[in-house]
Copies of this chain bind each other. A is one copy, B any other.
Amino acid sequence: MSASDNPSTLPLPVSEVSHWDRSHDVVVVGHGAAGGAAAIEACRAGADVVVLERMSRGGGATALSTGLVYFGGGTEIQKACGFEDSVEAMLAYVEKAAGDQADPERVRLYCENSVEHFEWFRALGVEFSPQFHDHKVTHPITDDSLVYTGNELAWPHAEAQPAPRGHKPAQVGEAGGVLMEAILRGSEEAGAAVVNDCMVERLVVDAAGRVVGVCGRVFGEPLRVRARRGVLLAAGGFIANKEMLARHAPDLLHCNYEVGTASDDGRGIQMGTGVGAEAVNMSEGLFINSYYPPESHLKGILVDANGQRFVNEDAYVGRTSDAMIRKADGIAFLIVDDEIYGPTQALHKLAAVEETIEELERALDVPAGALVRTVELYNRDASRGEDPYFHKAAKWLRPLSAVPFAALDCRVGRSIYGGMTLGGLAARATGEALGSDGKPIPGLYVAGRNAAGLCRQGRTYASGLSIGDATYFGRLAGRQIASALPSEQLPSR
């Protein structure tokens, strides 16, 4: 979408709004995980809420997802599967997962309230099975509900007392739809009005800069909605907007699979920056190039164009994929032998199959001797159960020796790289959007991928942190807006 065929995202002065078509306490833009959770809580707090959804039905990126949510601190499912976890242990781990730019307040609130948030989902009717999935996968395709989804077992984040925290609804296959059906049902049952097929185009601001409503279109007809207490932007990330990626997160242009929907075009973020909210962390994203299952592939080694290793192969897929892009410049091969090789779900092709490492090296156009030395040193160390380079767990260490040898092609352009943005508007944990001076933009709130949220780095990410973030901080934002003074009661500046 180019600038010319796209309505402006700059705010409309309220003086140009001749009348309001609707008026509500709370206007939520987007009926995904964040907007739905916010609508539920705002309604429960007594507010009059409308949700404006661009598609014909809500769901957003969550509905298309695997449905993993990162819960911990001792959920019933963790206990039933025999895992001990605590708020402290979860906090120590999530602090690392959230990354160097993380908001400590978000991390703390998320971990302290994780069991309560898990129960909130159960009260919405989402069921989890007391079954632990004891395999290295991106997500269980069985109806097992508990799985490791991050670096809990992998260097450099391995925990002293690791606990699995990825929770998937008890359903065979992908389960994001289960979560969203529960949330959509919940927001309607709580009393939120929902307007589908409604594209919100601009925020409306008063002379003092306060956000007092939105204007948009429903099947081409204008709709002007007043927000007495506040507007929540919960309209998704920007993985579907290539121009925005080029300006902010060019590394994500390497991705050929968008983890999101066509609505993830950044319009929510743009409307926010149009009124002075600060977009932060915009260059970060999650990359997903999953060379497992089969988990035996973790016994292979990832090498770059020079036949050098660059990451521990048993790390979370977000970490290994980030390294493929940013360390290996998008040129990566997984070297396997005959004993550990198997086809992948992502249908990786084989760049070469050879009887010796020397031949493999030539076939891959790696400098002479480079891959041979890498494998020699790796095999020597692996036979002792050691990986002094990248500290892969002993479970996955084994010399590569079963002829033939092969190279899975993990190169950019030759394999599937999923991508998702992690940048968004700066906001308090309770949703207030912030300007670059750190002060709230009156009347504007933000949650989900429209916000710079809980986890701000793909290389430390764990699956389930996005849906967890969207729903938990969506809830907080919904409560916060519901309790905000309505604009007619505000003192004039």
Residues of A within 8 A of B (CB): 2-3, 6-11, 13, 15, 100-101, 207-209, 244, 246-248, 250, 266, 269-270, 273-276, 278-284, 306, 308-309, 326-327, 367-370, 373, 377, 380-381, 388-390, 426, 435-439
Contacts and interface: CB of A to CB of B under 8 A. Distances in A.
Given A6-B437, A8-B437, A436-B273, A278 B388 contact: no
Contacts of A426: 247
Given A13-B209, A246-B101, A276-B273, A8 B435 contact: yes
Nearest first, the 6 closest Cβ-Cβ pairs linking A and B are A3-B438, A283-B283, A367-B388, A270-B436, A247-B280, A274-B276
Contact of A326 (B244, B326, B370): B326
A209 B283 contact: no
Contacts of A370: 377, 389
B247 A278 contact: yes
Nearest to A326: B326
A435 B282 contact: no
Contact of A15 (B3, B101, B207, B438): B207
A439 B8 contact: yes
A367 B377 contact: yes
A3 B438 CA distance: 5
Q: Give the copy number.
A: 2
Given A276-B276, A388-B368, A10 B101 contact: no
A204 to B, nearest CB: 13
10 contacts: A3-B438, A10-B276, A10-B435, A101-B250, A244-B436, A248-B280, A274-B436, A279-B279, A327-B327, A373-B373
A11 B436 CA distance: 12
B250 A100 contact: yes
Given A8-B435, A266-B436, A306-B389, 6 more contacts: A2-B438, A7-B437, A10-B439, A247-B426, A274-B437, A369-B377
Contacts of A282: 248, 282-283
Contacts of A8: 435, 437, 439
Contacts of A10: 209, 276, 435, 437, 439
A278 B377 CA distance: 49
Contacts of A281: 247-248
